[in-house]
Amino acid sequence: MLIAIDGPAGAGKSTVARAVADALGFTYLDSGAMYRCVALAELRGAEEPLRCAIELANGRATLDGEDVTDAIRTPEVSELASRVAARPEVRAHLVALQRAMIATGDYVAEGRDIGTVVAPDAELKVFLTASAHERARRRAEQTGGDAEQVLREQEGRDARDSGREHSPLQPASDALHVDTTGLSIDEVAQQIVRLAQAVR
Ligand code: DC
């Protein structure tokens, strides 16, 4: 079974997806971490970033065998990840990797295009949103940054993620929309777990 959770940065996708995966005993796939790995490889000057080995396991990300779990969370990598994610050859490569991963068992996969491109036949699709201010506030809390600056940077990435030609961020026509503004992550996760149990 596959549960697809898409939405913009800061909507609560990763926390919700992790909680749902834990509750159901599914594997969690953070597709954004893969775009971040490609961006980090580019930042480090890799000549062919798509040839670098990306692995996600047990909550850690590795790039050519090196643990880059923390290194892929810097603002520089966030900015470049949004740029590399607009390139069709990067998307094609990572979508193929993601499809191979989710074919191996039960997954909760989160990103921008899981329900629309990676797995349009997912049994359950959720599109998580929250107000731009709430999303920036959550990100700033996580990273220790300034909320106003996070908001400005987030607006640029949101516009690029939603406006790009290839696989823009958009809800699947059959996705369930959940606005997490003012809701606790637990409430949202429990709601999705109940839905998953109903369609299973
Ligand atoms: O979810 P995140 O912030 O870690 O994602 C990093 C970047 O990758 C973000 O700009 C959107 C992009 N992305 C994407 O285009 N498609 C995905 N499935 C996941 C992330």
pLDDT (average), residues 140-169: 89
CA-nearest residue, atom 4 of ligand 1: 32
In short, whether 157's Cβ falls inside 6 Å of ligand 1 is yes
pLDDT tens, position by position, 32-88: 999 999 999 999 999 999 999 999 998 999 999 999 999 999 989 999 999 999 999
Q: Is residue 119 very low, low, confident or very high in pLDDT (cuts 50, 70, 90)?
A: very high
Q: Which atom of ligand 1 is nearest to the CA of 94?
A: 18
Domains and CATH numbers, the chain: 2-194 (3.40.50.300)
Report helix, strand or coil for 166.
Answer: coil
pTM of the model: 0.93
CA-nearest residue, atom 9 of ligand 1: 82
Cα-based distances in Å from 187 to 5, 10, 119, 132, 194: 15, 16, 25, 20, 11
Confidence at residue 167, expressed as pLDDT on a 0 to 100 scale: 86
- 54-57 and 60-63 as β-strands: parallel, antiparallel, unpaired? antiparallel
In short, whether 36's Cβ falls inside 6 Å of ligand 1 is yes
pLDDT tens, position by position, 8-17: 988 999 999 9
In short, whether 31's Cβ falls inside 6 Å of ligand 1 is yes
Confidence at residue 138, expressed as pLDDT on a 0 to 100 scale: 87
Looking at beta carbons, which pairs linking 22-27 to residues 24 or more positions away fall under 8 Å?
Answer: 23/189, 23/190, 23/193, 24/106, 24/108, 24/193, 24/196, 24/197, 25/106, 26/1, 26/105, 26/106, 26/107, 26/108, 27/105, 27/106, 27/107, 27/108
Q: Is residue 149 very low, low, confident or very high in pLDDT (cuts 50, 70, 90)?
A: very high
> What is the CA(91)–ligand 1 centre distance, in A?
10
pLDDT tens, position by position, 123-136: 999 999 999 999 99
